[in-house]
Amino acid sequence: MEQFKGKSRLPSFAIPKRYELDLVPDLSGCKFGGSVRISVDVVSDTRFIVLNSAALSIDSQSVRFRSPQSWFQELSPSEVVLVEEDEILVLGFDEVLPIGEGVLAIAFAGTLNDQMKGFYRSTYEHNGEKKNMAVTQFEPADARRCFPCWDEPAMKASFKITLVVPTELVALSNMPVTEEKVDGLVKTLYFQESPIMSSYLVAIVVGLFDYVEAVTPDGINVRVYCQVGKSDQGKFALDVAVKSLNLYKGYFAEPYALPKLDMVAIPDFAAGAMENYGLVTYRETALLYDARHSAASSKQGVAITVAHELAHQWFGNLVTMEWWTHLWLNEGFATWMSYLAVDSIFPEWNIWTQFLDDSTSGLRLDALAESHPIEVDINHASEIDEIFDDISYSKGAAVIRMLQSYLGASCFQRSLASYIKRYAFSNAKTEDLWAVLEEESGEPVKMLMNSWTKQKGYPVVSLTLKSQVLEFDQTHFLADGSSGDGQWIVPLTLCCSSYNAQKKFLLKTKYDKLDILELLGSPSGKASLFGENSQGIAGGSWIKFNVDQTGFYRVKYDVELAAALINAVKSKQLSATDRYGLLEDSFALCMACKQTLSSLLSLLDAYREELEYTVLSHIITISYKVISVAADAIPGLLDDIKRFFIGILQVHAQKLGWESRDGESHLDVMLRGELLIALAKFGHDITHNEAVRRFEAFLNDRNTLLLPPDTRKAAYVAIMQTVTISNKSGYESLLRIYRETDESQEKVRILGSLASCPDPEIVLEALNFLLTTEVRNQDAVYGLGGVSRNGRETAWKWLKENWEYISKTWAGSLLTSFISSIVSPFSSDEKAEEIESFFSSRITPSITRTLKQSIERVKINSKWRESIRNDHSLGEVVKELSHK
């Protein structure tokens, strides 16, 4: 017995092959009963069977083991022990079990919980009446809360599910229904047996729904289920789903493995979406799109989410990671593939340029000392949740992109198809993928990629040009300005003065140098770069490294190379991705105190004629950070810095206006929303007055064309800028809209605006509102993101006072987002200490990583703030730039 405790994996003397699972959910009583018969293969001598179970009451008397040798003689265990802390059920028999196949039968019961994990209850309204639905969310390790099982990704088995539910309800599972028996008020649904799959992908949904459907050219029935009366809002996702399925079938040279695909909008949902095999579940905001009420950014979000979850049907569901250490194989690939699919369906969205925001999130997190390698040890189920982070998703996707661009798109696709074929209905590790890629490409993929997935962090490559020799120096980049001890094999790319002159090579050591002549291969190239007889770089020439930002590293140029690139930006010679990259690397170097804020602002000044959505959107992101730290460091210059950013942004805002125009591009629509929000936050008068006027019109008529969904959040934020505790009417109007609407996207917009008010007393009211029953637990996170700078202290005090309740009510990433959103904006060492000391007695394994990362961010902000105070040319530069 004792020997099974405290282990990270189940013992492997019995392996599950097939589950027959019967469940009877009681929606009004919020409980369920069930029984399971599991065919297992006993592969070595044992008296014990050990499987997972959590929060279930097991009927000990019901447990039986039958083997073909003793078909009529059923064995009952003499010991049935639930080890709560390890979430295992240990069955001890008096005799050694016969080797070979046997069937384990167990009856059990459980509660439909409110935690959005395991088998849980979600609520909705139908004809004014509050109703319950029953939903499962098993990833990463919560199938064990619904039925006893071998709850590990490598323990694949087939599932034959039977549900007994009220006759009027829709009940869905991974496979189609083969038979339905109605018996008065209840019906029994028999689902077809599934192919072998991992337990975390099993799913059940029971409730009232409408649906829309389509059939793929291969005859696969695809449906989108949503709340009764809203099925029109499922049409967009349905279309994306059908197109994605087709695309992936071609890309992987392997058809979708199941006979149907259902996608369901769930009103209470912890993540954004979940790729259950054949039954994908979503938050409403991630699946539903309504042309009248949804913003263009929501439309894009739906497309990306659907494409992501459907990529998992191959990468994840058909071929599954062997253990959670390889989670990134699932999430990194699905993220990368979603861009591939969306780019093909909506080429006009320039989605690969937008992908850089994903890479940037990876680069930001991975620059912390408290980051972790892509392949991370997992020793306990409670550690899995925290690795669904920007390392597994964004860095994962970015290193895939880096490898793809190094090996070439067609070689990469061929290798992936053969990987999928080789490991279909099975499991794989990271090195299995490298092996296939190495075979197909003949390149040293394993050696190259180990340096990216087995150690945390990434390099900054510093470049100096001395006497026509380029010198490289890679160091482990850390956001606080120090350097780590990592070293990488860096697939470097560069181009000289034109995208036609590109080179690539592997930087394998810390230092390296290259003769520019060798690099360009011809004396004429040299001449064009340097000019005749010149030592330095010629006017008009430039060298850009990390071409199109496909590499996961940063570049630091020497003064001369940097100046040449600024000219290239001004003379519009760089691609949008390279303009983005140059700016982002400069910004990161500036935060790490390796470059002054004045030089960053001068670089930004070169972007006055920028037109690309993603680049402008990134300028906005950077402006928020700069303004926030400037407010702490140099309050006297704050107004001028704001004026500088307003100057860059308002030209575009003026051009785009507030209303939609026929035929305008998706990217312009998204840009308009972001620009107006930024201008509203910076207190731009014209924007504010216009927002007030349009908001009034919207209050009188929710269908007014004066305030389309894409500009609504900007109006809400603008309104909140002038609300005070003694004049709350704007705040109250927003609450009224919140209460009247049944659109989740509208509710989210409002929640994200309320706490942006500069009056701390209003911030407190907004935060308290998040804890009321009017806000679903899944949505509180939206309210935390928008807290104004003036509201920081209030929010921190509020978090401390409510921590006990919050830590009991939320879990996983929903809980950690309370910490990261409220803690990270501070910028002083004293605050970091105060935060550390508050949590020292409240720390738990599930918040440890996020807490350390958030405190590290506060310390980084603090250093940055100090360095800005010491930037003596800043005042002059800001004055000059802000009056242009």
Between CA 743 and CA 863 the distance in angstroms is: 43
Strands 177-183 vs 186-191: parallel, antiparallel or unpaired = antiparallel
**Residue of 117, 128, 179 whose CA lies nearest to 381:** 117
Q: Please indicate if the annotation marks 308 as binding a ligand.
A: yes
When CB distances to Zn ion are compared, the closest residue is 334
Q: Is 309 annotated as catalytic?
A: yes
**Segment contacting Zn ion by CB under 5 A, of 15-23, 324-332, 421-429, 672-680:** 324-332
Contact present, 204 and 23 (Cβ < 8 Å): yes
Looking at residue 209, the DSSP 8-state letter turns out to be -
Q: How far is the CB of 331 from ligand BES (least distance, A)?
A: 5
Q: Which two tokens stand for residue 793?
A: 């202290």
Site of tokens 């000044």: 605
Site of tokens 């039958």: 66
Count, residues near Zn ion per rule CB under 5 A:
2
Question: Residues interacting with ligand BES, by CB under 6 A?
Answer: 139-140, 271-275, 304-305, 308-309, 312, 331, 334, 388
Does an H or E element contain 466, and which?
strand 459-466
Residue 141 or 479 with smaller CB distance to ligand BES = 141
Q: What number of residues does the chain have? A: 884
Q: How many CB atoms lie within 10 A of CB 861?
A: 26
Residue 274's binding partner among Zn ion, ligand BES, none (Cβ under 5 to 8 angstroms by kind) is ligand BES
Residue 153 or 825 with smaller CB distance to ligand BES = 153
Contact present, 791 and 757 (Cβ < 8 Å): yes
- Phi, psi torsion values for 468, nearest 5 degrees: 65, 20
Cα angle value 831/834/838 (rounded, 5°): 140
Q: How far is the CB of 139 from Zn ion (least distance, A)?
A: 9
Does an H or E element contain 462, and which?
strand 459-466
- Phi, psi torsion values for 267, nearest 5 degrees: -65, -30
Residue 273 or 832 with smaller CB distance to ligand BES = 273
The Cα-based distances of 396 to 301, 388, 449 in angstroms read 19, 11, 11
- Per 3-state DSSP, the chain is made up of helix, strand and coil in percentages (nearest 5) of 50, 20, 30
Between CA 490 and CA 548 the distance in angstroms is: 15
Binding pattern for the stretch 181-220 against Zn ion, x by CB under 5 A and - elsewhere:
----------------------------------------
Q: How far is the CB of 456 from Zn ion (least distance, A)?
A: 21
Q: How far is the CB of 705 from ligand BES (least distance, A)?
A: 31
Q: Which two tokens stand for residue 799?
A: 């978090």
Q: How far is the CB of 61 from ligand BES (least distance, A)?
A: 35
Instruction: Please provide the DSSP assignment of 575-629 as one string.
Output: -HHHHHHHHHHHHHHHHTTSS-HHHHHHHHHTTTT---HHHHHHHHHHHHHHHHH
Residue 389 or 690 with smaller CB distance to ligand BES = 389
Looking at residue 393, the DSSP 8-state letter turns out to be I
Q: How far is the CB of 413 from Zn ion (least distance, A)?
A: 20
- Assign 3-class secondary structure to 177-188: EEEEEEECCEEE
Contact present, 248 and 311 (Cβ < 8 Å): yes
Does an H or E element contain 850, and which?
helix 845-869
| 365 near Zn ion, judged by CB under 5 A | no
Contact present, 674 and 645 (Cβ < 8 Å): no
Cα angle value 456/460/463 (rounded, 5°): 155
Between CA 478 and CA 368 the distance in angstroms is: 6
Strands 170-173 vs 204-207: parallel, antiparallel or unpaired = antiparallel
Q: How far is the CB of 237 from ligand BES (least distance, A)?
A: 12
Contact present, 241 and 302 (Cβ < 8 Å): no
Site of tokens 């094999």: 489
Q: Please indicate if the annotation marks 872 as binding a ligand.
A: no
* Touching Zn ion, residues 148-167 (CB under 5 A): none
**Residue of 589, 547, 551, 561 whose CA lies nearest to 469:** 561
Between CA 87 and CA 657 the distance in angstroms is: 57
Q: How far is the CB of 351 from ligand BES (least distance, A)?
A: 13
Instruction: Please provide the DSSP assignment of 102-166 as one string.
Output: EEEEEEEEEE-BSSSSEEEEEEEEETTEEEEEEEEE-TTTTGGGTS-B--STT--BEEEEEEEEE
Residue 271's binding partner among Zn ion, ligand BES, none (Cβ under 5 to 8 angstroms by kind) is ligand BES
What's the distance, Cα to Cα, between the start and end of the chain in Å?
76
Residue type at 127? Answer: N
Q: Compute the Cα dihedral for 513, 518, 523, 524 and give only its sign.
A: negative
| 334 near Zn ion, judged by CB under 5 A | yes
Q: How far is the CB of 22 from Zn ion (least distance, A)?
A: 30
Q: How far is the CB of 316 from Zn ion (least distance, A)?
A: 7
152, 284, 309, 856: the catalytic one is: 309
Q: Please indicate if the annotation marks 836 as binding a ligand.
A: no
With b for 16 or more beta-carbon neighbours within 10 A and e for fewer, the 43-64 pattern comes to: eeebebbbbbbbbbebeeeebb
Between CA 677 and CA 700 the distance in angstroms is: 22
Q: How far is the CB of 234 from ligand BES (least distance, A)?
A: 17
Residues that bind Zn ion (CB under 5 A): 331, 334
Annotated binding-site residues for Zn(2+) read: 308, 312, 331
* Residues annotated as part of the active site: 309
